[in-house]
Amino acid sequence: MGNTGADNAQERQATGIVLAAGAGTRLGLGPKALLPYRGRPLVEAIAARMLDGGCREVVVVLGAGAPDVAATAGLDRYRVIVNQDWRTGMGGSFLLGHQAADPGDHLLVALVDQPGLTPATVQRLLARHRPRRITAAAYRRPDSLGEGSNAELRRGHPLLIDASLRDAVCATVSGDAGARRFLQAHPELVDEVDCSDQSTGEDVDTPDQLGLLS
């Protein structure tokens, strides 16, 4: 007999979506996509790790300062699109990434301001994903209650959305929420994968988090 529908779903490839449209207002250093990280603009490093980790293609969604980002970062290997309405929040960038991706692919969504992302994290999420579900990286962060393996596991990014759920997730996206509303409404569909051995999963949001870029 041939492959089952579940087998086909599991064999689908993933398109990586890097949400990189924000202006970095809280940080005050310009678009986060251009933050320097190990000699490269941060957006370039994040996109490379998505591709190196096993994504078939990577879509980079720019917004604030898009011409400067496109001229400065080496993004030739990726599909680059611009969210002209980036001020309305991350949700619009999420939807543009969804529209640009092959409709048969799963979506692996990452944030540009998460320098701890590694190819190994991407590989792990792709390997652990189950059909018709959402697979999320989770981390035991230093500020969690408890220590070591007793610390609280917190869901973060990247987030792998099954191809069969893309439309349902997008129907809940607006403003700066991204997939959050869908995740809150359907916790039974979310598998958390511990990636604490790779990073803390923190974002660079404030000046005191700039050390994450070292």
Residue ranges of domains in the chain, CATH in brackets: 11-201 (3.90.550.10)
Structure tokens at 13: 């490839």
Determine the pLDDT at residue 117. Answer: 96
Q: Lowest mean pLDDT: which of 143-157, 167-181, 195-209?
A: 143-157
Given a contact cutoff of 8 angstroms between Cβ atoms, the answer to whether 109 and 158 are in contact is: yes
pTM beyond cutoff 0.95: no
* CA distances, 193 to each of 51, 58, 127, 178 (Å): 20, 22, 10, 20
Given a contact cutoff of 8 angstroms between Cβ atoms, the answer to whether 169 and 176 are in contact is: no
Given a contact cutoff of 8 angstroms between Cβ atoms, the answer to whether 33 and 42 are in contact is: yes
Rounded Cα distance, 42 and 34, in Å: 6
- Per-residue confidence at 105, pLDDT binned at 50, 70, 90? very high
Residue 28, number of CB atoms within 10 A of its CB? 9
Q: Within 13 Å, how many C-alpha atoms sit on residue 59's CB side?
A: 22
The answer on pLDDT for 144 being more than 70 is no
Sign of torsion, CA 101 154 147 38?
positive
Q: What is the pLDDT of residues 145-161, one digit of tens each?
A: 455 555 789 999 999 99
For the chain, what's the residue count? Answer: 214
